[in-house]
Structure formats: C-alpha cells, structure tokens
Amino acid sequence: MRKKTIGVIAGLFLSALLLLTFFSNTMLALTLPKVVTEKPRKAALQQKIEGAGTIVPQEEIELKSPSGQKAAGIHVKEGDAVKRGQKLITFDNKETQRQLQDEQSRLQQQKLSQEKLKESFIKAQQSGEENAIREAKRSLESHDIDMAVQERKIQSLNEKMAEQRQLAAPFDGIVTQVAAGEGQAASQGQTLIKMMNTAKGFKLDIQIPEEGAALFKKGDKAPVQVETEGGAGKQLEGQLIGIEAVEQSGGGGGLQIGAAGAPKDREMKEAGPNKRLVFSLQDPGLRGGESAKLVMTKQIGKEELLVPKGAIKEDAGGSYVFTITEKKGPLGNVLTVRKAYVTKGSSSENETAVVRGLTPTDSFITESSEPLQEGNRIRLQ
C-alpha cells in the first residue's frame, strides 16, 4: 500500500513537472519575437518610371518686323491654324510707295535728258569734229549708266514694297503668339508673330536619373497621358528622339524614380546625374502648352531571384538576409535566426536581385516584431 502511494505521488510529480515544463516553454514561446517570412521570387526586375512636363512644338519660329512700319491690319489671333503663304499682317508702306514714285519721276527726267544727249551726239557726228563726237559719246554712255542704276533702284524698291506689304506664313502651322498691335509701329527686327510648324509635331521633355536613362534607347515608344479641357485627358504614344545630358540642380521636379512617398528632392539627389528624355508626339488635336505625364515600367535584365530591398542588411562582412534554422526538440521544433550572406545584383525601387547566397526554396525574414541577431530564437507569425 505504501509503495502504491509513493508511485502515485511520483507519477503526479512527474506529470506536474512535465506540465510546468510545457507551460513554461509555451510562455517562453509567447515572448519570442514574431517574424514574417517569404521565399525569393523568380522574375525580371521591373523599374517604374513616371514624370510630367509641358508639351511644346518641335519647331517654333519668330516672324520679325521687316522695316519697322506700322501694322495696318492683323488678320490672325493666337491659336489660329494657318496655311503656308496665308496673310498674317499687312503694313502701312505709304512712305516706301512715295519714295518709289519719286525715283520713278527721276527716271522719267533721265529719259528726257537722254533724248537731248542723243540729239547732241547726232549733231557732233554731222559736224565731223572728232573731239565733239567723243565728248558727246561719253556723256551719252555715262547717262545710260546712271539710268541703269536708277532702274535697279526702282526694281529694289518694288521688291521692298512687295516684302513690306504683308507678313505671310512660311509654312502650315499654328499661331502661338501675336505681339503686334494694329496701328502701332515696331522697330526693325522686333518679333511680331510666333508660329509653330505643325508638320514637325510636338515634343515632351522630361528629366530622368542616369541609371533610368540607361534603360531607354532612341526609337522606344512610351505612353503619354495628355490633360485636356474638362479633365478627361487622352493617351498618346510618344517616341523617344533624344537623350541629353543635363546639369544637376538643387531643385526637384522632372521625372521621378523611387519608392512611393519618398521626398522627391532626396530621390533625385540619390539618383545622381540626370538625363533629359525627349519624346516626339503627333496628334492633330495638340496645340502646345498642354500638361502631360508619363507612367511606365521597364524590364531590367533577365529573370533572377528577387527579394524586397528592406530584407537585405549590411555589416562588415557584406550583405546578408536573416534566414531560419529549425531544430527538432522533445517539446517541439526550435526556430533560430541565421545570417545568410548574399551577392546582390541589379535593383529596382522595391526589389534587389540576389546572384548568390539564396535558393528558390530558402525562406528569409521580411518583418520582425523586435530587432534580431544571429542565434535569436523566434516564432512565426
């Protein structure tokens, strides 16, 4: 009876001890850091690129005042579509017209004088005196030269009048600015009208960090969203016609490449030198001055193992990710943290390619409730 009682007590003691051990392990597990794990995904990196700018004509010229005359009539306004040769401005060229009339009168006088010189030359020939003949011939030839000069002067004034009579469109296009005022004189060479060449189309210039520009080549197509009146907007296809270097400036703006929510000026600074991308746009509804934006993704390289950027840490030994080591125990599996050093490849705004150090079946820690060190025990969330 006594032995039986001792056995019962011993059994109860061992059961209590096991229960307490299990309970203490359970309580300990509840205090361990909670982690979230992922496996690397195999895919090609995608770089998101977005930016905005203003659409401008590819070719815009200034039509200047030919002589500083008054504008007698202005026949177009800003935004008008015009055809080559179409009259834009007519000028008051009465002064040139009066000058032309004066020169024509001088030519008539010279013609009258020429008749007299011819008569003198004929008389000299009839007299037979050599000196008189030579003198009359020289006078007649000199007068003929003066008349030729006068005729060229009149021709030049006629051409000048034709040029100054009106300002005409040099090509099919759109009037983008009218600086002339009716009845007002402009100084010679002053800009009166600005015109864009519709045949050359439009362009959109945006800035992009240098590493993003390396993903583009001339001829690439890109979707461009153009804002229109009423806010509906329309999408056009832009073609890359130029990649130009630009000086780095302290201001923000331009095209952004980076994580959402990050300060734009910091992104641009971290991105390094900028490049300007020039896209050509063709659409009959464009007029210039429209706001436009570009949003697209570009593939970086081939398929690789990708991990979130935030999962990669750095120390003196290099780049690493936290992985999990699992050991079986009498009261359940024990999970501990292990450093796995990796070799990084290309990066996008959110992910980094891992060249070595991970396999597709490895799990790595992406989130933790507490800071981790190698060897820490953890639990899965």
pLDDT at 308 over 90: yes
| Higher-confidence position of 269 and 228 | 228
The pLDDT of residue 314 is: 92
For the segment 204-217, the average pLDDT, to the nearest whole number, is 85
Q: What is the pLDDT of residues 54-84, one digit of tens each?
A: 999 999 999 988 777 778 888 899 889 899 9
Distance in angstroms (rounded) separating the CA atoms of residues 335 and 375: 9
Q: Which two tokens stand for residue 31?
A: 């205090």
CATH number of the structural domain 31-45+304-380: 2.40.420.20
The pLDDT of residue 327 is: 80
What region, left, alpha or beta, does residue 183 occupy, with left being phi > 0 and alpha being psi -120 to 50 degrees? left
Q: What is the pLDDT of residues 229-288, one digit of tens each?
A: 766 788 999 999 999 888 655 444 444 444 333 333 333 334 457 889 999 998 888 888
For the segment 109-119, the average pLDDT, to the nearest whole number, is 83
Burial class, 195, CB count within 10 angstroms (exposed 0-12 / middle 13-18 / buried 19+): buried
- How many CB atoms are closer than 10 A to CB 293? 17
The pLDDT of residue 353 is: 92
The number of residues making up the chain comes to 381
Give strand pairing partners of 335: 326, 378
Which of 74, 4, 12, 28 is closest to 377 using CA atoms?
A: 28
Percent of the chain with pLDDT over 90: 25
For the chain, the domains span 31-45+304-380, 48-58+198-299, 60-195
* For the chain, counts of helices (H) and of strands (E): 5, 21
Q: Half-sphere exposure of residue 150, counting CA atoms within 13 Å on the CB side?
A: 18
The pLDDT of residue 113 is: 84
For the segment 175-200, the average pLDDT, to the nearest whole number, is 84
Q: Please say whether the structural domain 48-58+198-299 has been given the CATH code 2.40.30.170.
A: yes
Report helix, strand or coil for 275. strand
Distance in angstroms (rounded) separating the CA atoms of residues 362 and 32: 22
For the segment 334-342, the average pLDDT, to the nearest whole number, is 91
The pLDDT of residue 142 is: 87
The pLDDT of residue 248 is: 59
For the segment 304-314, the average pLDDT, to the nearest whole number, is 92
Cβ atoms of residues 236 and 226 within 8 Å: yes
Q: Which two tokens stand for residue 124?
A: 């000299």
The pLDDT of residue 329 is: 61
Handedness of CA 363, 368, 372, 378 (dihedral sign): negative
Which of 322, 324, 337 is closest to 375 using CA atoms?
A: 337
Handedness of CA 65, 71, 75, 79 (dihedral sign): positive
The pLDDT of residue 47 is: 84
Contacts of 212 (CB under 8 A, 6+ apart): 47, 49, 255, 257, 271, 275, 298
Which of 140, 145, 172, 148 is closest to 61 using CA atoms?
A: 172
Q: What's 60-195's CATH class? A: mainly beta
Q: Are strands 34-38 and 70-74 parallel, antiparallel or unpaired?
A: unpaired
Mean confidence (pLDDT) of the chain = 81
pLDDT at 6 over 70: no
Q: Half-sphere exposure of residue 190, counting CA atoms within 13 Å on the CB side?
A: 15
pTM reported for the whole predicted model = 0.57
Q: What is the pLDDT of residues 142-183, one digit of tens each?
A: 888 888 998 888 888 777 777 777 888 999 999 988 988 877
